[in-house]
């Protein structure tokens, strides 16, 4: 837990992290002087009628009060700065890992959101506790016990009876509360997941009139979160009342027993008042300890969940041997197998080769591994067996930047980002207006962009919600065309486009991508029929390859697709 904190506090924030607790010692020292000074005023000032002594010690009390406020506010500022900078660094690190993760079975988006937000906030609270409360509470507690023994040793046995009982009680509560807070955080994940699915699938929910059903589902998860939160809170809620009860009983006993001792002149009135004040400070420190325990329990749970993200290890790039540049834009897959650890292989010993400048069509049923091929080609995942080469160079001997310079991809999931049409088309790069015009004309997006009030500077809402599905796909295709990469991959990139527009896009691409390697994944056989070669995937295995005419003769699966989509065809033609 503290290792995570220390790994994400740097520079001035690290200095403040260590300086804040030292400053807090000044506040604790100042607070501990007050009861002793008050005792001296009563016993040596008021009892003897020495007004100068009273004024002198009253000024000392004021001075220590000012010093305490100064040290306390300074500690709060330094601790807050360290906490906020740690949170900023940790969130950035976790998001970087999530974005760069190339493992096939990483954490789900819903739990990542909770961990990067809610769990990091708990870690920030931990930093505030460490820099302030975890110093103030034990030092005030220990200092109060020591000073009460020094000021009035005759009443000290009262503390020796109460404190062991409270310490054992607190340890038992801590042991009981941590699992409950773990369960509560898991419930937060579930609520976030249901809420995310409902918001993203709002159109589907409305289309099937399932609003009430989804609300009931959310209510169940929400109720479970409430129950788990209540259970976690109830595990620690008894701490504060018990501590107050025990220490207040201690004060009562101190007053009763101390009164008898004062009557017998064994101790003075000032000693009793000082002891009672130290008991109040000890009570305050113990209650603060309760709050620390509650926050600490949640921080322990959150730190474990944060560590799970950090343990995804940033899936760092494989070492680049020489970052050799490909000789051309040919592609080869040799004995490539890939799958999740808990399931059968998604791709099983796939072998094929595309010559430089060829068009390859990839067709197959849903779940046959078509998109997985592209994920491997673009190094979305590196955990596979076999070899994938571009221009004769193993892609794992190339840096990610080099791979992405060679390959541009237009996916079926045409996600647009908040910004403008232009910012989405160039996405992190730069392009002239001429290049943008050419790309949008090829994708048949130019006309509707020109009809927008601000054209290329027209705003794009989150996920492109202000555009239709077909418009989003055409913008997504334009984005892939803009860099003019040597290899272009279209993964069902026109599935939401009507047949007429799709045919025009296909025609435009043929002209633009002449003698340039292009891969087309599509459920529409018309999109791949004219490719130089077509491969058929079934259950992760390459079952057939060849031209359209060749596959009509040797692939029953391909023939069935043709019949389903195009009707009766003369296979002998």
Q: Supply the pLDDT for residue 343.
A: 62
Residue 74: both structure tokens together: 């300074």
pLDDT at 256: 86
CA distances from 352 to 329, 394, 529 (A): 14, 15, 18
Distances (CA, A) of 424 to 160, 357, 492, 500, 548: 69, 28, 19, 25, 36
Report the predicted TM-score, pTM, of the whole model to 2 decimal places: 0.64
3-state secondary structure 115-164: HHHHHHHHHHHHHHHHHHHHHHHHHHHHHHHHHHHHHCCCCHHHHHHHHH
What pLDDT score was predicted for residue 39?
Answer: 86
Q: What is the mean pLDDT of the chain?
A: 83
- Answer positive or negative: Cα dihedral of 430, 432, 436, 441: negative
Task: State percent of the chain over pLDDT 70.
Answer: 94
With contact defined as beta carbons under 8 Å apart, do 405 and 379 qualify? no
Q: Which residues of the chain have pLDDT under 50?
A: none
For 186, 339, 474, 488, the CA distances from 411, given in Å and listed in that order, are 32, 21, 11, 11
DSSP string, 246-283: HHHHHHHHHHHHHHHHHHTTSS-HHHHHHHHHHHHHHH
| CA distances for 440 relative to 102, 283, 444, 446, angstroms | 31, 71, 6, 5
**For residue 315, what are the CA distances in angstroms to 4, 100, 380, 510?**
18, 7, 11, 38
Q: How far apart are CA 306 and CA 19, in angstroms?
A: 26
The confidence score (pLDDT) of residue 401 equals 81
pLDDT score at 283: 81
């Amino acid at each position: 837990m503290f290792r995570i904190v220390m790994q994400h506090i740097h520079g001035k924030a690290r200095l403040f992290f260590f300086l804040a607790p030292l400053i807090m010692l000044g506040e604790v020292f100042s607070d501990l002087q007050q009861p002793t000074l008050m005792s001296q005023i009563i016993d040596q000032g008021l009892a003897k009628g020495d007004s100068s002594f009273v004024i002198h010690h009253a000024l000392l009390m004021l001075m220590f009060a000012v010093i305490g406020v100064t040290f306390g506010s300074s500690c709060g500022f330094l601790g807050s700065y360290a906490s906020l900078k740690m949170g900023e660094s940790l969130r950035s690190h976790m998001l970087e890992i999530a974005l760069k993760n190339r493992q096939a079975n990483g954490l789900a988006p819903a739990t990542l959101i909770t961990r990067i937000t809610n769990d990091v906030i708990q870690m920030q609270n931990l930093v505030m506790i460490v820099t302030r409360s975890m110093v103030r509470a034990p030092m005030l507690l220990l200092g109060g016990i020591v000073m009460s023994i020094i000021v009035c040793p005759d009443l000290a046995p009262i503390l020796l009876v109460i404190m062991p009982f409270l310490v054992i009680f607190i340890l038992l509560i801590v042991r009981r509360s941590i699992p409950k807070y773990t369960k509560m955080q898991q419930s937060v994940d579930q609520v976030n997941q249901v809420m995310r699915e409902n918001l993203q699938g709002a159109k589907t929910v409305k289309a099937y009139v399932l609003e009430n059903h989804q609300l009931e589902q959310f209510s169940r998860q929400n109720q479970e979160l409430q129950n788990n939160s209540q259970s976690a809170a109830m595990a620690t809620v008894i701490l504060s009342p018990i501590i107050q009860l025990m220490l207040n009983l201690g004060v009562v006993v101190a007053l009763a027993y101390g009164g008898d001792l004062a009557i017998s002149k064994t101790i003075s009135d000032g000693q009793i008042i000082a002891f009672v004040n130290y008991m109040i400070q000890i009570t305050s420190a113990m209650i603060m300890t309760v709050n620390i325990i509650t926050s600490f329990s949640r921080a322990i749970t959150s730190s474990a969940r944060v560590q799970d993200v950090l343990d995804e290890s940033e899936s760092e790039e494989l070492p680049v041997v020489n970052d050799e540049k490909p000789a051309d834009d040919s592609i080869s897959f040799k004995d490539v197998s890939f799958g999740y650890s808990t399931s059968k292989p998604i791709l099983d010993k796939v072998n094929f080769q595309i010559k430089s400048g060829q068009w390859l069509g990839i067709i197959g049923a849903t779940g046959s591994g078509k998109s997985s091929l592209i994920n491997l080609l673009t190094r979305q995942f590196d955990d596979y067996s076999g070899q994938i080469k571009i221009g004769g160079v193993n892609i794992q001997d190339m840096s990610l930047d080099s791979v992405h310079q060679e390959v541009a991809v237009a996916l079926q999931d045409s996600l647009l980002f908040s910004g403008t049409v232009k910012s989405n088309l160039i996405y992190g790069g730069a392009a002239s207006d001429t290049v943008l015009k050419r790309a949008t004309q090829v994708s048949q997006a130019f006309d509707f962009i020109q009809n927008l009030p601000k054209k290329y500077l027209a705003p794009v809402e989150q996920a492109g919600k202000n555009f239709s599905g077909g418009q989003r796909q055409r913008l997504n295709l334009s984005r892939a065309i803009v860099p003019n990469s040597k290899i272009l991959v279209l993964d069902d990139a026109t599935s939401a486009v009507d047949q007429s527009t799709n045919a025009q896009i296909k025609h435009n691409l043929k002209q633009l991508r002449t003698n340039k390697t292009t891969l087309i994944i599509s459920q529409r056989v018309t999109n791949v029929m004219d490719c130089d070669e077509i491969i058929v995937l079934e259950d992760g295995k390459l079952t057939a390859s060849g031209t359209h005419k060749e596959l009509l003769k040797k692939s029953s699966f391909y023939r069935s697709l043709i019949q389903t989509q195009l009707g009766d065809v003369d296979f002998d033609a």
